[in-house]
Amino acid sequence: MKLVTWNINSIRIRLEHVQKLVSDHAPDVICFQETKVRDSLFPLEALQEMGYPHIHFAGEKSYNGVAILSKIPFSDPDALSWCAREDKRHSSVILENGIELNNFYIPAGGDEPNAETNPKFAHKLQFLDEMTDWCAKRFDADAKRIMVGDFNIAPLETDVWDHKKLKNIITHTEIEITRLAQLQQAGQWVDAMRLHILPQEKCFTWWSYRARDWLATNKGRRLDHVWVTPNLQDSVAGCEVLLDLRGQDKPSDHAPVLVTLTV
DNA sequence: ATGTCAGAAAGTTTCTGA
């Protein structure tokens, strides 16, 4: 099974890039974040015509929004709300092969890494805490689960272009990295990307629009993640960040992450 | 620290969030 997670930053404006992803890599399942479209305007037919008859989406006007596209039939489509808000930051399905797939868009958190003065950062931390409680409560050693998405946190020193310069910048602060570790522990999640792209290697999935020459300067961060339960660890056959899609005309600021599983 | 985007509202320009 080839699985992609991609913060698309508007699904409607980048349908051609989705088509390129499909033509070049033919993923079985694609998880999108930041679709930025209300459900009534979601381009369902166009995506189905690309070869994805099974689509679960949960969106809103302008902001957030997630979608799961699949060649594989699924059941139990769900979309949970977090932090008592109605923003669309989660969706899940159970694939026909029995694997539960969760797609998350964790809040970015604003600019100032102080939860007392910056409500966006407080929201991000609360969101992480709720996810941690949720994972702990429903933990099941026998369940086969995958959790993907734009987590908006780069935990390792090699997940950012300069650890020292970014250690007080949201996405790479100690407090976020600690919360993410607690979340990972609560579900015994395995970082599937880092099974194949070794932790000592730099690995980025996001480059700011503001940096010109994004590839040459390579001031990136690994904000997008694929986590699997331990019983799926040996099924993770490979991982690739699809840089060519970040290099298209009018790209998303995130590159897709492709993980191949032998399931 | 902010050089760029996307979407929305109402203005061919400003705001917000990222």
Q: Nearest nucleotide, C1' to the C-alpha of A253?
A: B5
Per-residue pLDDT of chain A (263 residues; tens, 9 = 90+): 999 999 999 999 999 999 999 999 999 999 999 999 999 999 999 999 999 999 999 999 999 999 999 999 999 999 999 999 999 999 999 999 999 999 999 999 999 999 999 999 999 999 999 999 999 999 999 999 999 999 999 999 999 999 999 999 999 999 999 999 999 999 999 999 999 999 999 999 999 999 889 999 999 999 999 999 999 999 999 999 999 999 999 999 999 999 999 99
CATH 3.40.50.700 fits A2-261, yes or no: no
Q: Hey, is A41 helix, strand or coil?
A: helix
Please report, rounded to whole angstroms, the spatial distance between the CA atom of protein residue A221 and the C1' atom of nucleotide B4.
Answer: 17
Please report, rounded to whole angstroms, the spatial distance between the CA atom of protein residue A51 and the C1' atom of nucleotide B13.
Answer: 40
A215/A207 Cα distance (integer angstroms):
8
Cite the beta strand spans of chain A per DSSP E. Answer: 2-7, 29-33, 54-58, 66-70, 74-78, 90-95, 100-105, 145-150, 190-191, 206-207, 220-221, 224-228, 236-241, 257-261
pTM score of the predicted model: 0.97
